[in-house]
Structure 1
Amino acid sequence: SCVYLLLSIVNKGTNITQQLNLTLFLIQETEGNLYVHSFYRNKDQLGLQDQYFRNRTSLFKDQISRGNASLQLTGVEVQDQDRYRCYTNTIRGEESSFINLKVDAPVSKVKILRVENRIICSSEGIYPEPDLTWSTRPPSNLTLQNQTSIQQTEQQLYNISSSLILSDSETDLIYIFRNEETHSVSSALILFQLVCREMEIVSFEDSGHTLQS
């Protein structure tokens, strides 16, 4: 799952002075405006902060006078993906801007398991919804008989599992995770001589990783 996200709101790169009034709130068409964080009179003002964001927000107070009004949002969940409005009021005047927050939980750990004549590839806690395909090395005309299932958790993350019937040919396999929305690709090579073992590995976002024993 997501651990934290640094949400850059404003960065002027110039002196703002100490009198910075910052109000940030979440725009939701169905439930109204949820206040995320407020700062004015040189301190946090969290009386209107929605409980959902309690103890999850902080500013870099030592950098505010230099123009950095970035907000750090921790414990990020899929539900945080939304449009945010940032309102600032300084001696320069008032400004209002919008930020579309996108949440990404990429493939981090992949489990490879052999059960009888099938090899199973699975991963959990992914967002957005991934796609998993198989190929061979070297490329061949071999028909790969696979079944893939995807489940969404209460946290709106995705768990994916794909099983492949092993062929009689001694062929190395490649699993490929793709996400069309984030344009990310994660893959690994499974050597034929290792498919008889149960393995757990970390998958990297490249196309040249070899799964080791």
Structure 2
Amino acid sequence: MSKISTLNEKPLHEALKRWYAQTGDIFEVSVDGFVIDIVRGDLLVEIQTRNFSAIKRKLEKLLIDHSVRLVYPIPRKKWIIKLADDGNSPVSRRKSPKHGSFEHIFEELIRLPELLKDPNFSIELLLIEEEEVRRYDGVRGWRRRGWVTDERRLLRVVDKLILNSPTDMQAFIPTTLTEPFSVNDLARATDNSRRMAQKMVYCLRIMGCVAPVGKRANAILYARRTTE
């Protein structure tokens, strides 16, 4: 295994790269004008801890000639640490009431849902436990009463899921969900918000996993489609 470069990397990205690494991997390799996190044989691995818009163009270019896997962490549990004015001493640590799940990939997948139709593309989801470190910045942090996220720290990886094609996305539609179904039906069946269910349906439509088949009052109804 070649040495893992961590220059200018955020702690979460660095920790995930170390966790993901295998013997024989090569790190920080230039491919087609882009620096790749990990090269594993013919597979290019990119670890993305921010939104997908920042990496969409890079993926589209690389997929023309390469197999690419996007690794994305979803916080199953999170502890929030607030730092004192010195920027080093923690003044509080509390557990966030929010719990992530694999379905939260749709929060980002709406930015590039068509890519999973490319046979060269796959996504690996990592359910993690993390710490989010915040510090006070009255200018940048006005949306959070002055607090901004300084860094994220990996505590552990608790589960993973690989999505290779639209067929794999069918698993997000509960087998108990009766067809045809509405966005509200999907939200109830998956125990998610309507907003999340809307994003799920949008992505699943783009991927060809579901199709509109009618209406119930003003609600569009959908049915599963067979994907290849």
Higher helix proportion (structure 1 or 2): 2
Higher strand proportion (structure 1 or 2): 1
Larger Rg: 1
- Per the TM superposition, whether the score is higher than 0.5 is no
TM-score by length of 2: 0.24
